[in-house]
Amino acid sequence: MTSKTKLWLTLALSLTLSGMTHAADSITPTAKDPNLWLENIDGPKQLDWVKMQNAETVKTYADSAEFKQLDARLLEVLDSNARIPMVSKIGDYFYNFWRDKDHPKGLWRRTTLDEYRKDKPNWETVIDLDALAASEKENWVWHGADCLKPAYRRCLVALSRGGADASVIREFDLADKQFVKGGFDLPEAKSVVNWMDADRVYVATDFGPGSMTKSSYPRIVKEWKRGTPLSSATVVYEAKDDDMSVSAARDNTPGFERDFVYRQLAFYDSETYVRGKDGKLTKIDAPNDANVDVHREWLLIEPRSDWSVGGKTYKSGSLLAAKFDDYMAGKRDITVLFEPSDTTALDAYSWTRHHLILNVMDNVVNRLEVLTPGPGAWARAPLGGAPALSTIAAGGVDDDTSDAYFLTVTGFLQPTTLYYGVLNQGDGQAIKHSPSFFDASKFDVSQHFATSKDGTRVPYFEIAPKNLKADGSNPTLQYGYGGFEVSLQPAYSGSVGRAWLEKGGVYVIANIRGGGEYGPRWHKAALKANRLRAYEDFAAVSQDLIARKITSPQHLGAMGGSNGGLLMGNMLTLYPQFYGAIVSQVALLDMQRYTHLSAGASWIAEYGDPDKPEEWTWIKTFSPYFNAKAGEKYPPVLFTTSTRDDRVGPVHARKMAAKLESLGYNTSFYENIEGGHGAAADNKQAAFMSALGYTYLWDHVK
């Protein structure tokens, strides 16, 4: 797993809020905001308001026979038993978490490789989440498991109530298929727990007052021994209040056992320390904004800014390698494994036992390379191939013991195919095929480039009927994200196909700045004071679609979630003239108070700190809640969110909907009581939320 992947999994998934944030408790008496009362997330008055809004939205958009048919067809996609059950290897077995009609909460199950390669594998259930939830009267949502190698018998299982980020941690025995009585258990909190050995773990969690950072993440990491109370755990490291978080982990790779402490200074800045047997910490000397990864004898560094070291300068977005022990001893013999160009960026990398697989994007389209360390330069060879405008990705199956890999190929009109192979043993073989959920032969995929306000070329993908008439009348859905260095790449979606394309609509993905499509430089171009560049890019794509007569404002809808929901809020308030309707999902919207709501303080590195007057000066230019005003020609807008979203929180959507409603605008709102930041705790809820968004847009732009 790459360091970038580890960072995202740790910060975006595992580091979770310990319960709902009642931000209204910290409001000063002089604050002027008539909608502050909606910040009490679980208050009875507030939930009554939510239920009233939900009822009105359901009555208007989700109560027709047509909606119910779409809802059922989307659920059919999500519940399909023909989907590819993606797996990960744990010990001798391949594990998969699976939801379908009969198991809405899901099964954690396993099989052998020989069985997995069959059309219908024989699966062994390890944990039946539906049965567990029923017996314990809890709405458990699966949050994953971390198992101790090399035996892989004991695991730390994370379970969420209702889909919130906050998790309960329980120790589980894979041989007995039972939770361990008296094992390592933690109550609901945002916990990062990693194995040291069979009787010790590193734990970062809410230890009580003073143990959390201002970003609401763990400030202290401790070493906890089996059979002792958590209160007796010994401190390994204490971060500062202004840091984002801290955690620790042991690499149990035989022959390369090492302990690490990770101090997250901000979302993109961190320090990694090696922890000696005496407890002494030695910092890995790399830039704070670089991603650092240690694998066996190798140290990999991805600088996010140009880095000068050892008399040489390495480009931002490069991948660099050095021998770990030599580097820690002061040597700076560094090999460049990847260097970006104007059109390329490193998307990901993955180790096998003897090789490193690089996933490179060139104008947002993938290619794979296999690198093999050896004397002097690393050897290079291509891996696989993919059709035009598709996504190809590969990852090692078990980087301790084999050079086996899984490879997937997918595209907007191409259902995913899964290959299995072993490097240097011929081509991989296709072993799984995802089903088709719509007739792709009726559509074409093309890539285009719009010119943004400052002259930047912005790529976008267009999926449209082959017989498309460029007369400006085509219902078009434009989707975007534009933040946190996240790339939007070609991928098959049965839901998009059924809900939009089959009806004759055009679907567009905008690869705007703020994302990672061209590496760190593309992301940094829309950070903080430059945030408006992302919105200018999205507007430029809209203008290009209109200029090409693919669509027109009354037929153009826009959709985005989370940071993309903030994008939608800004398209509403800054560029309302381009859209016939907008859907904003699980969004940030009140950028004046976002650092005081749920996990908002952790994103200051992305947006800035509104509590600093000099930064609020430019943050307010992209705060939809602040900028919404009367007398504008805003298009109809739907806000969707979840009560159990303890990452962004439902407060933003509630307040924005209430403000727009008070100003007389056509505003709709729906808050799923469960679901967390994904706004859905199971496939049935996910299908409903998707059907609601697509139906809303279609009704307004058709």
Catalytic residues: 562, 677
Question: In the structure encoding, which two tokens stand for residue 489, read together?
Answer: 């790449």
The set of long-range contacts for 19-27, using a CB threshold of 8 Å and a minimum separation of 24, is 19/166, 19/188, 19/646, 20/164, 20/644, 20/646, 20/649, 21/216, 21/597, 21/598, 21/646, 21/649, 23/593, 23/596, 23/597, 23/598, 23/649, 23/651, 26/596
- Asked if 403 and 394 touch (Cβ cutoff 8 Å), the reply is no
Q: How far is CA 446 from the centre of its chain?
A: 26
In whole angstroms, what is the distance from residue 627 CA to residue 584 CA?
16
At residue 522's C-alpha, the angle toward residues 516 and 523, to 5°, is: 65
Which residues are paired to 345 by β-bridges?
Answer: 361
Rounded to whole angstroms, how far apart are CA atoms 63 and 658? Answer: 23
Question: Strand, helix or coil at 632?
Answer: coil
On the CB side of 39, CA atoms within 13 Å amount to 18
* Cβ within 8 Å of residue 168, ≥6 positions away: 158, 159, 160, 161, 185, 186, 187, 188
Q: What is the Cα 19 distance to its own chain's centre? A: 21
What is the DSSP code (8-state) at residue 672? E
- d(CA 53, CA 569) in angstroms, rounded, equals 19
The Cβ-side half-sphere exposure at 610, using a 13 Å CA radius, reads 20
At which residue do the structure tokens 């961190």 appear?
270
Cα radius of gyration rounded to whole Å, the chain: 25
Q: Which of 434, 428, 353, 431 is nearest to 394 (CA)?
A: 428
Cβ neighbours around 114 below 10 Å, total? 9
